[in-house]
Amino acid sequence: MTNHSGHDMTSHSGHGGARPGGLSVSENGYTLEFDSTILSAGVQTVTFRITGPDGQPVTAFTPEHGKELHLIVVRRDTTGFQHVHPVRDEKGTWSVDVTLVPGDWRFFADIHPAGHEGTLTLGIDASVAGQYDPQPLPEDTRTAHIGEYSVTLGGELEPGGASDLTLTVNRNGQPVTDLQPYLSAYGHLVALRVGDLGYLHVHPEGEPGDGTTEPGPEITFMATAPSGGTYRLYLDFQHGDVVRTAEFTVRTTTATHRPDAAAQDTPEHANHHGHHGHH
């Protein structure tokens, strides 16, 4: 995907309609297989494979945005978001460390198997034992605060149609104009539909080095919401060699008042993303 414009759920699910990705563990003969879907709390190493139509682990992938596989991890209450990049051995087993707390989690594998016509997003649930403390859905938000950074979301999600979303990054009240490329872009946006975690993966219009795309403060995405409802948006951006995540709650119906809310900025999350920030 060298052209970053127009990435919506259609292209990422590999289907002709705007159908959410990540709702199935198997699609077009490719299956996401975890070694265990019962995990412990804390920093855990998860291992898994992508098996192909022949039932064997897939070992050849077409890199998308610099990686053969993007793994998105989130608890079912939409907390604990992590975007990580596992490593694969020669036999096709992937492994990566993630930070988990008790509850039900969803794992999304974003892949482009070599020879397949497009990308696929496969999803699987895993359970983490312990005292589960589900969190309420944050209010409809338009500004997220991460330490000294703030990110403001402009635009509307339109059910069944494409629309522009513009995210503006400031630091201590000043526009950030030197964002660093992260995964071949100045920002990386994932949206999940609240209720079933239908997966929407979008990238900005334009890319670093194309002669027209500025490194901030604005990052513009083209997004397509498959239906009305509420969505959780997670923006990864890199500045000062650290990748941070701003989180938003957005409803497809127009609201007259959108209170600000804080975004997640845990040390574990910041450190975790920092390992991958130079790619």
- pLDDT, tens only, 196-253: 999 986 767 888 999 999 999 999 999 888 899 999 999 999 999 999 999 999 998 5
What is the architecture of the domain spanning 143-274? Sandwich (2.60)
pLDDT of res. 161 = 81
Q: Domain 9-128 class?
A: mainly beta
Residue length of the chain:
279
| Spans of all domains in the chain | 9-128, 143-274
Give the pLDDT confidence of 145-180 residue by residue, as tens digits. 999 999 999 999 888 888 899 999 999 999 999 999
Mean predicted confidence (pLDDT) in 67-77: 97
Separation between Cα atoms, residue 257 and residue 253, nearest integer Å: 12
Examine domains 9-128 and 143-274 and report if their fold is the same.
yes
